Chains A and B, each alone.
Chain A
Amino acid sequence: METPYLSIAEIEAKYPNEWVLLDRPKVNHKTLEVLGGRVILHCQTRKAFDEELLTAPRVKTSASVYTGRMDLDVVLSARL
């Protein structure tokens, strides 16, 4: 059964502070802001999200969204 379309506000309310994968996202094509979609995967940690991606249903167009706020300061120093 296909999951229903949810707006981004509904997704944030239903899955707070989670990483969410959306199928057939609705997007503002100018800013690429995700406006909503059909949730096919949601996880509370990035690690679990990355792992479950391997077995998640393959869809043509998806969007990944984090519904929370990362408050930690960041110093990556990725020297490529």
Chain B
Amino acid sequence: MNVPFDAIQPGIRIRGYVAAFSADRYVEFTLDTGATRSVLRPHILQYLGCDLTRPISTVQMTAATGVIAAPVFQIQTLHALGQFRNNFPIVAVDLPVTFAADGLLGLDFFRGQILTLDFERGRISLYPPRSRWWPFSR
């Protein structure tokens, strides 16, 4: 699926949809290939019904204060760029207040796919591989 993005605005902003236990929300992600894991602000996860005191696990992350353990929560559905991820683990991280997005779409969302960013036309496409002959055939 092809999705437009504003190639002039800072960052690649993607609309997404997340559903958890008691609520769901249309949110805005920044597409972040520099983040190994996808991230949402804790307040959003709390609003969706996640108990912030009971994460399913923690991950080590580097923050301004050093390495910290960030909590991971499982959300029922994450929908972005025309694809769905069910029972998807999301890391709760307080992003800077000067950063507009609700979260980051990290590498975990793109595994097993081919991501194309057209900075000329301002379009993103994300597809599972169907063909081995273009453009990455071996």
Contacts and interface: CB of A to CB of B under 8 A. Distances in A.
Interface residues of A, number: 36
Nearest to B64: A77
Nearest to B15: A32
A18 to B, nearest CB: 11
Interface string A53-71: 1101011111111101111
Interface of A: 25, 27, 30-34, 45-47, 50-51, 53-54, 56, 58-66, 68-74, 76-80
13 contacts: A45-B97, A50-B43, A50-B97, A51-B43, A61-B23, A63-B25, A63-B27, A66-B100, A74-B11, A76-B104, A80-B35, A80-B59, A80-B70
Interface of B: 1, 3-4, 9-11, 15-17, 22-28, 30, 32, 34-37, 39, 41, 43-44, 46-47, 59-62, 70, 79-80, 82, 91, 93, 95-100, 102, 104, 106
